[in-house]
Amino acid sequence: MTEKHDSPEAAVPHTEAEPLPYNRLSWKLDRFIVTIGKASSWLWIGVLLVVLANVFARFILNAGSVALEEMSWHLFGAAMMLTLSFAVVRDDHVRVDVLHEKFSLKTQAVIELAGILVLALPIIYLMIDVLIPYAYKAFELNERSQAPSGLPYRFIFKSVLPLSLILVWIALFSRALRCSTLLFRFPREIQIPRDDRNGGHPHP
């Protein structure tokens, strides 16, 4: 008879879909990122509706709208940026290292941990440090589109840039914690509920 591990501290069996083990903090962080990612995915519906409305106004009513066109750009950009961290958690982002899949799991974890700590997290931090004043300045100046009939309150979209990178930073930090759990058994591995519909990934 197979023993069932009901304790949250029990080890998680590794699977091809989710090879890196979870620890308590990374599990909570990934659930948070997945929740934000799923909520942000609804923005794509907004993008579709605004684009359709703009096409209808331009080609059927012969009355194009600069505001609708700008809104489609802003919504598209926000949807892309706010779901970047979701791709990191799901490990669905594009990898440029063609040799990565040929390495053992521990070698992959070593490379990922070094890359995240030495390159990704510091660079993203510097980008956030620049983008927060960039968005705040737009708020102070009450910046709006240069087009006469364009959209106001451009600070809203500009604020999405640092916010999305903060989420990516959190997702990468969580990934680094999972690599540390595999390599050093710290933080300690925990058993997590699996959702077959999500391929074993965290679900809110």
199 confidence band (pLDDT: 50, 70, 90)? very low
Q: Report the predicted TM-score, pTM, of the whole model to 2 decimal places.
A: 0.84
Task: Give the model confidence (pLDDT) of 57-72 as tens digits.
Answer: 888 888 878 899 999 9
Closest CA to 185 of 7, 9, 4, 5: 9
Helices (H), 151-196: 155-184
Task: Give the model confidence (pLDDT) of 76-125 as tens digits.
Answer: 999 999 999 999 998 876 776 777 778 899 999 999 999 999 999 999 99
DSSP state of 23: B
Amino acid 90 reads R
Q: Residue 186 pLDDT more than 80?
A: yes
Domain ranges, ordered by start, for the chain: 24-92+103-192
In 10 A of CB 176, how many CB atoms? 20
Torsion, Cα 6 8 168 76, to 10 degrees, reads 40
HSE, side-chain direction, 13 A CA sphere, residue 23: 18
Average pLDDT over residues 144-152: 89
Q: Which two tokens stand for residue 31?
A: 């659930």
